[in-house]
Amino acid sequence: MLSHHLKLLTIASFAIVLSAGAVTMQPSAHAEETKPAADQTAQAQPAAGEEEDLVDADGVPQYIVKDGKVDKGTYNGYRRYSATCHVCHGPDGAGSTFAPALVDSLKRMDYWAFTDTVTNGRANGASVMPAFGTDPNVMNHLGDIYRYLKARSDEKIGRGRPERFKS
């Protein structure tokens, strides 16, 4: 417990570095009306202790890239993405013949729309995204998966396995 608490403190100090402009991050661009209903937000919240609490004032998960290395949450996001999402969306969020490149999608889609799509799925003719709302391997790591894909989409990290900095 103590070590976890210490870890959070360390992360908070990185967050300060971040706001000082060491790494540029896109602020969440969502419009007020696209914010999901309270119950959906609740569904998207990770289980306590499952992921890092690095979020902005609106609750949008943030990533940290330092000297090309990523925070623990972003790294976890890479692993979870590569276990579940990549079988359709291709390695590294780069897209496939079957499903779109999420590195592009996240340039247009904000965190709330991302959360809604992953949780509830989406269908467009023969193109179908399943609902992962009941999948603990996804829902408990949703913020981290977003962190990873957002960092990829913002071109802060490249393809392949990112390296984690020690916290």
Partner 1 sequence: MKPFLRSLLVTAAMCAATTAYANDSVLKNQKDPNNWALQLGDYAGQRYSTLNQITRDNVKDLRVAWSFSTGVLRGHEGGPIVIGDTMFIHTPFPNTVYALDLNDRGRVKWKYEPKQDAAAIPVMCCDTVNRGVAVADGKVFLAQADNNLVALDAENGKVLWKTSNGDISKGETMTAAPLVVKDKVLVGISGGEFGVRGHLTAYDINTGKMAWRAMSTGPDKDVMIDPSKTLMLGKPIGEADLGVKTWPNDGWKLGGGTTWGWTTYDPELDLIYYGTGNPGTWNPTQRTKDGKPADNKWSMTIFARDPDTGEAKWVYQKTPFDEWDYDGVNENILADINIDGKQRKVLVNFDRNGFAYTIDRTNGELLKAAKFDPKVNWATGVDMKTGRPQTVEKFSTFANGEDTNSQGICPAALGSKDQQPASFSPQTGLFYVPTNHICMDYEPFEVSYSAGQPYVGATLSMYPAPESHGGMGNFIAYDAAAGKIVWSKPEQFAVWSGALTTAGGVGFYGTLEGYLKAFDLKDGKELYSFKTPSGIIGNVNTYQHKGKQYVAVLSGIGGWAGIGLAAGLTNSTDGLGAVGAHSSLGDYTQLGGVLTVFEVPSK
According to the binding rule CB under 8 A, does residue 135 interact with partner 1? yes
Give 28 or 43: the residue with its C-beta nearer to partner 1: 43
Give 21 or 160: the residue with its C-beta nearer to partner 1: 160
Sequence-separated (6 or more) residues with CB below 8 Å from residue 160 = 92
Among 51, 52, 71, 92, binds partner 1 (CB under 8 A): 92
Among 21, 37, 126, 166, binds partner 1 (CB under 8 A): 126
Give 27 or 136: the residue with its C-beta nearer to partner 1: 136
Instruction: Give CA–CA dist 21/2, Å, rounded.
Output: 30
* Kind plus residue range of the DSSP H or E element containing 116: helix 111-120
How far lies 94's CA from each of 32, 49, 136, 142, 153, in Å? 30, 30, 24, 18, 10
Shortest separation between residue 33's beta carbon and partner 1, angstroms: 28
